Amino acid sequence: MKSDENVLDSGPFFHGTKAELKIGDQLNPLNKSNYQDKKSSYIYFTGTLDAAKWGAELAVSERKERIYIVEPTGNFENDPNLTDKRFQGNPTRSYRSLFPLKIVAELCSWERHSDEEISHMLSSLEKLREQGLDEIID
């Protein structure tokens, strides 16, 4: 960890998705969200493999689940959708940025959550949607 007190986290960082990308490509803000039918102002990423797995597993697409190792190209902040709103502090090390993320590698082998865990998460998200509580602060 860097000694600079302004650094939130020094990584490594991950992005879970179903988009097929190559090393050197950039993930940009203002693309369609993995979770809702809208463009997102930010690009989201995490410092934990578990959170990246959820990103890949829950992304709306029939494509292959992928986890990329990424580097932020600019400033980033704690993701307010998870930080303090749902989890005190930032235990999921979830962040967002208005700047692109550079793909530096793909994590080719990782263990998925169980089918039961994924089904439970999808059911929970559907309940939030039905209650109008699935708003993403963007």
Residues 106, 69 contacting (CB under 8 angstroms): yes
pLDDT of 59: 86
Q: What is the pLDDT of residue 125?
A: 80
Instruction: Decide: 56 and 49 in contact? Cβ < 8 Å.
Output: no
Q: Looking at residues 40-67, what average pLDDT do you find?
A: 92
Grade residue 2 by pLDDT with cuts at 50, 70 and 90.
very low
| Assigned token pair, 57 | 């597993």
Q: pTM of the prediction?
A: 0.83
State the CATH architecture for 13-130. Answer: Alpha-Beta Barrel (3.20)
Calculate helix-pair angle for 115-130, 49-58, nearest 10 degrees: 70
Report the distance separating Cα 74 and Cα 78, nearest Å. 14
Q: Are 42 and 69 in contact, with CB atoms under 8 Å apart? A: no
User: What residue ranges do the domains of the chain occupy?
Assistant: 13-130
Task: Name the CA radius of gyration of the chain, rounded.
Answer: 15
pLDDT at 87 over 80: no
Instruction: Select from 137, 104, 94 the least CA-distant residue to 26.
Output: 104
